[in-house]
Amino acid sequence: MNYFSSNFKLGILGGGQLGKMLLNDTRKFDIYTCVLDPSNEAPCKIACNEFYQGDLMDFDTVYQFGKKVDILTIEIENVNVDALEKLEREGIKIFPSAKTLRTIQNKAKQKLFYIDNNLPTAPFSRFAYKDEILTAIQHETLEFPFVWKSARFGYDGTGVKVVRSHSDLDELPNVECITETLIPFKNELSVIVARNAEGKVKVYPVVEMEFHPEANQVEYVICPARISKEVALKAELVALKTSAAFKHVGLLAVEMFQTKDDDILINEVAPRPHNSGHHTIEASYTSQFEQHLRAILNLPLGKTDSKVGGIMVNLVGAEDYTGDVVYKNIEDIMSMDGVTPHIYGKKQTRPFRKMGHVTIVHEDINEARKIAAEVKKKIKVISE
């Protein structure tokens, strides 16, 4: 099929920053794109060929949008899977598949998938609602501390909480959820696997993630991860095994824990470009966004090696500011060598909202980490 400068149409469900960065590459290749997003202010709006405003969870909206395109992909998992299943039956190609999305959308189903496929993950229990957790604690089948996760619609620190005592339970919503054993770990790692429809696979180098202590959001992504070759190989193999189990097409980001004993446990996966791969735009031969396109269009996969060490710093809204965004001291960081800001195009800031990221590239990853700390200290995402 001819995708380039042709009447082929690629549909993207979700119009946020991941879609916007994906559109940099569709424009590079002159691939015609249609985007659906609930917000008329979506970052993608300025960069796609056709923009539609609508609810991603509404059956008819997603179905009618899917009928307009030849291949459909996502930049967010929370979409109407029933509509995708009907579109697949009618011959629309959807990557990742509706089946994969149905599994990944629900954290309980996702965890059961790991168990069924003999993939390493932390021990867990599933609960239909909050009272069942209280009963389990009373019967001593569940002990403090544990990690509580909402089964549906959790992302970026929402829908996740470490529960250390009875008082922490008060804040939990009454929803379907899982609880996981709190794993003492050395590192949080991530590996992005690309797989095309032919089953050809490429894997990106393992990255290490440093988290913000309060917001439960990634602050720094470091590539290559500062771990031994043995641990890196173990993480890559777990990611490849996970990719094979899902038989996914596109990108699969596999987030993992490196335990105190250097075991690798899967935390969760995302079947799309991911925050842990943003550094690839500057640091890799093939960015994760170009690779996602190559994979879903069944084109040859690009080289995944890094050209240089890369660190990504998330730019999130400062805690005490809500309103029209101002990037304070952005000129200061732009005067630093190897520093590239990416601004997502969200006009309004609020505490901890992802507003952009900054990539730092340097031959020496430890030097890059120092510069990243300076960047983090200097730039502030505030409001007027």
Query: Lowest mean pLDDT: which of 78-82, 149-153, 242-246, 281-285?
Result: 149-153
Instruction: Quote the mean pLDDT of the chain.
Output: 95
| Model pLDDT, residue 204 | 98
Q: Which segment, 38-52, 166-180, 202-216, is predicted with the most confidence on average?
A: 38-52
d(CA 258, CA 303): 26
d(CA 75, CA 274): 9
Residue 214: closest CA among 92, 66, 93, 316: 316
> Could you tell me which residues are beta bridge partners of residue 381?
327
What pLDDT shows up at residue 156? 61
Q: Please write the tens of the pLDDT for every residue from 64-103.
A: 999 999 999 999 999 999 999 999 999 999 999 999 999 9
For residue 171, the model assigns a pLDDT of: 87
pLDDT at 39: 97
If one counts every other C-beta atom within 10 angstroms of the C-beta of residue 147, the result is 17
pTM above 0.85, yes or no: yes
H/E stretch holding 354 reads: strand 354-362
Q: What is the pLDDT of residue 157?
A: 62
- Mean pLDDT on 111-124: 97
Rounded to whole angstroms, how far apart are CA atoms 309 and 257? 22
